């Protein structure tokens, strides 16, 4: 990556690295409708350096747009909205390719579905239900990722739709270091055995790494307990007391670190239930059409069953700790050597599988295999329901539970009312509350539609709060800039996760409730 680009995107490179930025710069994103929600979403991606964007919007700028979209101005009134927003975004980052299509998204969805095949990802903003269902089918057929974003008065939603999304670099906030203290390999045992915890030199005693202390303590415990590690609460307390018994001074930080990390010795052997579910997935039965991810998972499954002895490849890094420099460097080398050996074994299995299924054995690079090994414990596979399936067959117990749960009732209510206002618009050619004179009548109509939707999916309509129905009508389908900016920020964050394949994207419908300033995810 060129130095100028690195300086330009310095802060975000620290989050998703060169690989993530390269994925962003290759991406071709389409935005449907460039009102405030769409414009705010795309602005964040353009500033982040997405490769190219195409804005689809057939409307003209009107006076109302000046109050909620800062990408248009008085001079643009009556002109193409897509053109002005496109020009504004190009000024923000001229490295991004930007173009516009002055046509309504509805027309493209209905008459030119092949148009969407060229894109990496489509962002659909302010689309009604029937168009979303059609667009979702088109995107899935073309293997194009879809992100839905919508703001409506003081509420908004974001939803992702695609067949399957695989994440290697999930980067969880909290994850247990891969130190293998519960299952040390021979070289680590040998290194620990060579260090004497009863050494007379107080400097050496204070700077023995806690990894070594725990390996020695665990071996002594197992010898006294029939080869078993501490499991019960009482045993774990006794194990900590054993560690403390090695101390010769109260201010030995390395022993305090060992006591704090003592629980790592009791970690379960083998892979987690989450990872086991992935390696046992039917997609592991790979063929020539299988994505690289599943080829790597198939190799991982073989590795765990053979060279790994039930464990995944070692990550190969160790955290900071109180230690003599010599000890720490030697420990690093031991962990790195084990990780490299595991990676070589994985590489051999990947090449063998590729050859077996009729693909080029070198089709997956060594760097990709190494990255996979480093993150093997943190893999994620997310499969999304189609929008049509969710709308026609939501999970009634879950929806009912959300509606009757005090914490989730507003979010679930808005979820139902988003569908209701679209059905209202289909029936009356306008959204409820657009005209003040019809407010009372619109509230009654919207309530009847919402009750019908809940009845269709097998939920009790009494759970829907009447105040929300009135508020939804009062919103009058307005896009408020503050809400649009927030929803657009959430949507663009999810887009970046999907494109970079880093971090875990949301797997439900995100609802923003601006009345109570709450954001919640509904798994339906």
* Distance linking the first and last C-alpha atoms of the chain: 42
Residue 176, in any domain of the structure: no
- 242 and 206 in one domain? yes
Residue 180, in any domain of the structure: no
- 465 and 400 in one domain? yes
- 351 and 297 in one domain? yes
Residue 251, in any domain of the structure: yes
* SS3 call for 130: helix
What's the CA gap between 505 and 277, in Å, rounded?
A: 19
Q: How many CA atoms lie within 13 A of 342 on its CB side?
A: 27
Rounded to 10 degrees, the C-alpha dihedral 318/322/325/331 comes to -30
- 485 and 471 in one domain? no
Tokens of 90: 């190009």
Nearest 5°: the CA angle 116, 85, 3 is: 85
- 378 and 277 in one domain? yes
Q: How far is CA 83 from CA 17, 68, 102, 295, 350, in A?
A: 33, 17, 8, 44, 48
- 158 and 17 in one domain? yes
- 80 and 12 in one domain? yes
Residue where a domain terminates, one of 383, 402, 435: 383
Residue 175, in any domain of the structure: no
Domain holding 515: CATH number? Answer: 3.40.50.720
Q: Which domain holds residue 112?
A: 1-170+480-522
Residue where a domain terminates, one of 366, 383, 400: 383
pLDDT values of the chain reduced to their tens digit, one per residue, 524 residues: 556 667 788 889 888 999 999 999 999 999 999 999 999 999 999 999 999 999 999 999 999 999 999 899 999 999 999 999 999 999 999 999 999 999 999 999 999 999 999 999 999 999 999 999 999 999 999 999 999 999 999 999 999 999 999 999 999 988 889 999 999 999 999 999 999 999 989 999 999 999 999 999 999 999 999 999 999 999 999 999 999 999 998 889 999 999 999 999 998 889 999 999 999 999 999 999 999 999 999 999 999 999 999 999 999 999 999 999 999 999 999 999 999 999 999 999 999 999 999 999 999 999 999 999 999 999 999 999 999 999 988 777 899 999 999 999 999 999 999 999 999 999 999 999 998 888 999 999 999 999 999 998 888 888 888 999 999 999 999 999 999 999 999 999 999 999 999 999 999 999 999 999 999 999 98
Count of the separate structural domains present in the chain? 4
- 341 and 359 in one domain? yes
Task: Answer positive or negative: Cα dihedral of 365, 366, 371, 372.
Answer: positive
Residue 140, in any domain of the structure: yes
Q: Are the CB atoms for 123 and 149 separated by under 8 Å?
A: yes
- 152 and 4 in one domain? yes
Pairing mode, if any, of strands 97-101 and 52-56? parallel
55 forms beta bridges with 31, 100
Q: Are the CB atoms for 243 and 262 separated by under 8 Å?
A: yes
Residue 179, in any domain of the structure: no
Q: Are the CB atoms for 146 and 161 separated by under 8 Å?
A: yes
Residue 225, in any domain of the structure: yes
- 146 and 72 in one domain? yes
Residue where a domain terminates, one of 226, 243, 266: 266
- 429 and 316 in one domain? no
Q: Are the CB atoms for 52 and 24 separated by under 8 Å?
A: no
- 393 and 377 in one domain? no
Q: Which helix (H) or strand (E) holds 159?
A: strand 155-161
Q: Which helix (H) or strand (E) holds 81?
A: helix 81-92
Nearest 5°: the CA angle 108, 114, 116 is: 70
């Amino acid at each position: 990556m060129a130095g100028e680009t690195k300086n330009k995107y310095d802060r975000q490179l620290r989050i998703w690295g060169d690989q993530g930025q390269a994925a962003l710069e290759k991406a071709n994103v389409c935005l449907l409708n460039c009102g405030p929600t769409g414009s705010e979403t795309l602005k964040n991606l353009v500033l982040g350096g997405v490769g190219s964007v195409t804005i689809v919007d057939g409307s003209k700028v009107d006076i109302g747009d000046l109050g909620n979209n800062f990408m248009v101005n008085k001079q643009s009134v009556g002109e193409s909205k897509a053109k002005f927003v496109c020009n504004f975004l190009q000024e923000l980052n001229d490295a991004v390719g930007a173009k516009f299509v002055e046509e309504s998204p509805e027309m493209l969805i209905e008459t030119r579905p092949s148009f969407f095949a060229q894109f990496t990802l489509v962002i659909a903003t302010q689309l009604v239900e029937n168009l979303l269902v059609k667009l979702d089918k088109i995107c899935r057929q073309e293997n194009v990722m879809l992100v839905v974003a919508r703001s409506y008065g003081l509420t908004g939603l974001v939803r992702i739709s695609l067949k399957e999304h695989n994440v290697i670099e999930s980067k969880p906030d909290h994850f247990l270091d891969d130190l293998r203290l519960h299952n040390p390999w021979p070289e680590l045992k040998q290194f620990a055995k060579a260090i004497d915890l009863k050494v007379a030199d107080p400097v050496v005693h204070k700077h023995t790494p806690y990894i070594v202390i725990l390996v020695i303590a665990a071996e002594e415990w197992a010898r006294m307990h029939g080869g078993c590690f501490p499991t019960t609460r009482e045993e774990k307390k006794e194990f900590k007391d054993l560690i403390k018994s090695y101390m010769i001074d109260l201010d030995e930080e390395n022993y305090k670190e060992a006591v704090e990390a003592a629980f790592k010795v009791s970690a379960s052997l083998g892979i987690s239930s989450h990872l086991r579910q992935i390696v046992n997935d039917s997609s592991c039965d790979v063929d020539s059409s299988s994505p690289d991810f599943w080829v790597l998972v198939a190799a991982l499954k073989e590795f765990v069953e053979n060279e790994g002895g039930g464990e995944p490849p070692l990550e190969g890094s160790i955290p900071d700790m109180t230690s003599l420099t010599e000890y720490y460097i030697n420990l690093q080398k031991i962990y790195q050597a084990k990780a490299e050996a595991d990676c070589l074994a994985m590489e051999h299995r990947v090449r063998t599988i590729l050859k077996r299924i009729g693909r080029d054995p070198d089709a997956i690079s060594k760097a990709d295999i190494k990255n996979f090994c480093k993150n093997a414990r943190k893999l994620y596979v997310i499969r999304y329901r189609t929008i049509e399936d969710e709308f026609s067959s939501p999970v009634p117990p879950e929806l009912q539970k959300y509606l009757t749960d005090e914490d989730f009732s507003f979010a679930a209510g808005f979820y139902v009312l988003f569908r209701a206002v679209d059905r209202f618009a289909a029936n009356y050619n306008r959204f409820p509350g657009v005209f003040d004179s019809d407010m009372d009548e619109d509230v009654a109509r919207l309530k009847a539609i919402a009750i019908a939707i809940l009845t269709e999916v097998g939920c009790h309509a009494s759970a829907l709060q009447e105040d929300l129905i009135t508020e939804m009508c009062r919103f009058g389908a307005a896009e408020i800039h503050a809400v649009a900016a927030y929803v657009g920020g959430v949507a663009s964050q999810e887009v970046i996760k999907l494109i970079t394949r880093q971090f875990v994207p949301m797997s439900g419908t995100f609802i923003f409730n601006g009345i109570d300033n709450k954001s919640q995810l509904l798994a339906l």
